[in-house]
Structure 1
Amino acid sequence: MSRAGCHMIGGMDISSIIGLALITVASSPVPAGAETKAVTLEPIRIANPEFDQAGQSWQFTGTESADAGYWSPKKHGAADAEWFEGEVATLGTGGGCTASCVLPADAVVSGASYRIGFNVARWGPDLASLKVSIEDGASRPIASSGSIEAGLWRRRFVDLEIPSGDTISGPFTLVFRTVENKDAVRESTVLLDKVSMARIGVDEPGFQSLFNGRDLTGWIGNVKGYGVENGAIRTFPERAGGNLYTQDEFGDFVFRFAFKVPPGANNGIAIRAPSTGDAAFEGMEVQVLDNSHPKYAGLKPWQFHGSVYGISPALRGYQASPGEWNLEEIRADGRRIRVVLNGMVISEFDLDEAVRAGTLSGQEHPGVSREKGHLGFCGHGDLVYFKDLRVQPIFRPESKP
């Protein structure tokens, strides 16, 4: 990279959960990115994924003993953090509270699988959990998850498969439903934010692998500072720093890969970069780092994960917890740049528009004008892992070789 007050409900201090938003726990319902072969995630638009109360879109259903609706941590003294910002959804655990939204008409098809991502926490002393489902036009679940326990804030993922051959009809709805805890002494509440949905698939024809899984054949630059471990490229910062680049250059492309960052780690993806000089300025650098670590609390918006350094910011909160694999896609098509993280579009912009009034960093970025260059990893002295690296060049009729 070249970032409390309190509110009492039922006698419980909300800051006991909100204030610990940057702490994570170890368990995960679905090991996102742990697939034995590379998959792709095609984003499906969720209306109002961050529960902006003014945006509506979500329907809430409470029960006689529990409420459901929008709630603002900031209005009660809790600053925004990686896992939540603005309003969040609150779902009581007194038996079947729901938050639901209607999906796009063509989003759900028979035989397809979907990855649902969401940030979740528990407020209250007793166990709280929820289930995720896709329901048809008759409000019948056609795919459901198991129970997912809510604890301290973190991002969770579940994969839902629509049975093949079933006749299904919409409108389809994505539903989060709390599970009643009959042993609870005091009711807890599930907090929910930043929902994403993507269709799980495989690469289209034309993608080529950039990594053989064994060694750094096809890579140039600081090969001493990188190596291979368990089928992934990893940094060895104790040996050397610096950048590692593809031997080939790419102009317009779709680059897909998986990455894993330990707590506090930092790296970057060089695009359209020369093999010498500062890739963040002579080319462009798409940030790779653990947004949630306290040492990054003071970063500028254009320094967080997925941002193009100094040029354009990215949405926060859609990254898996430190130590878990993430799936990412970077698309550079002419002057358009798009970054998709775990099935959510976190950045999409036009380079010319982004720098029309100057760069966000206030520095010159000549790399914005480059039409071609290397892909690569920008080492910043931390341990980071990359795997499933593949690229598809985008050729226009006049640019075909």
Structure 2
Amino acid sequence: MKRIAIASLLLATTSLHADDWQPEAGFKSLFNGKDLTGWCFRAKTDRKDPKIGEVTEKFDGKTTSSDNYYSAKDGVFSVNFPTEMDKLTGQIYTVEEFPKNFILKLEFRASVNADSGIFIRKPQLQCRDYLVAGPYKELKQYKPQEWNQVEVVVKDGVARCTCNGEVLEAEFKLPETGPIGLEGDRGLMEYRHIQLKAVE
């Protein structure tokens, strides 16, 4: 009985902490932890086109996307992508676009060999179970199947991207504006604490 009580207490504490999280000073949250408000599907565009597609469907107030592959619960944004799906359709974006310099911070947890991505305006930064799925297999600070932090610092059309402080991409070139997006390609990916701050 004591074990059950302790487990219930830990679960309640985890949920409480998820609900209590607030963005850092100067940052705004891009995910409210409860639903997909502010997120959308967009029309596909050619990869060579620097412009992102127009919004085709919004998910304000909804806890699950219309295709059931993106969901929000207890402070976690889940990306669960089936193997039979066309991976080119597995993308969800913020409605808002970000033309100014900014700092983006988020945490992710990858299932074994999971494959996802973070779209920065439009180009994709690979976000995966790195030590198994690559491409950054030499990371020393990455924690498999635990929460890891990605930070993206965008200045004058170039992003510096790190995971737990280790460099993923030092000079990631970007278009002039665009949204933040997440992709599902393989396995379960979970995101939380998605926050952004505009900077000079």
TM-score of the alignment, normalized to the shorter chain, above 0.5? yes
Aligned to 1:271: 120
Please say if residues 142 and 163 of structure 2, whose CA atoms lie closer than 8 Å, have aligned partners that are also in contact.
Answer: no
Please say if residues 39 and 95 of structure 2, whose CA atoms lie closer than 8 Å, have aligned partners that are also in contact.
Answer: yes
Aligned to 2:144: 322
Gaps of 5+ in 2: 1-13, 42-56, 58-64
Aligned to 1:143: none
Q: From 175, 181, 190, give the equivalent of 1:376.
A: 181
Matched position secondary structure for 1:373 = coil
Please say if residues 318 and 341 of structure 1, whose CA atoms lie closer than 8 Å, have aligned partners that are also in contact.
Answer: no
The superposition leaves residues 232-257 of structure 1 with CA deviations (integer Å, 9 ceiling, x where unpaired) of 00013249651110110012211101
Partners of 1:212 and 1:350 lie apart in 2 by 28
Partners of 1:378 and 1:227 lie apart in 2 by 13
After TM superposition, the structure 1 = structure 2 runs for residues 127-206 of structure 1, keeping only pairs within 5 Å, are 203=24, 205-206=25-26
Partners of 1:343 and 1:327 lie apart in 2 by 8
State whether structure 2 residue 80 is matched by structure 1 residue 232. Answer: no
Gaps of 5+ in 1: 1-33, 40-201, 274-283, 297-302, 306-314, 352-367, 396-401
Partners of 1:377 and 1:248 lie apart in 2 by 14
Please say if residues 316 and 346 of structure 1, whose CA atoms lie closer than 8 Å, have aligned partners that are also in contact.
Answer: no
Provide the TM-score with structure 2 as the length reference. Answer: 0.67
Greater RCO (CA < 8 Å, at least 6 residues apart): 2
State whether structure 2 residue 171 is matched by structure 1 residue 349. Answer: yes
Aligned to 2:158: 336
Provide the TM-score with structure 1 as the length reference. Answer: 0.35
Aligned to 2:36: 216
Report which of the two has the higher share of helix. Answer: 2
Question: Residue 328 of structure 1: CA displacement?
Answer: 1.4
Change (3 A) 1:230 1:320: farther
Partners of 1:346 and 1:38 lie apart in 2 by 26
After TM superposition, the structure 1 = structure 2 runs for residues 64-83 of structure 1, keeping only pairs within 5 Å, are none
Partners of 2:21 and 2:105 lie apart in 1 by 9
Count of aligned pairs: 154
After TM superposition, the structure 1 = structure 2 runs for residues 50-65 of structure 1, keeping only pairs within 5 Å, are none
From the CA coordinates, give the structure whose radius of gyration is larger. Answer: 1
Q: From 92, 96, 102, give the equivalent of 1:248.
A: 96
Identical residues among aligned pairs (%): 28
Please say if residues 141 and 166 of structure 2, whose CA atoms lie closer than 8 Å, have aligned partners that are also in contact.
Answer: no
State whether structure 2 residue 107 is matched by structure 1 residue 258. Answer: yes
RMSD, matched Cα: 2.7
Aligned to 2:45: none
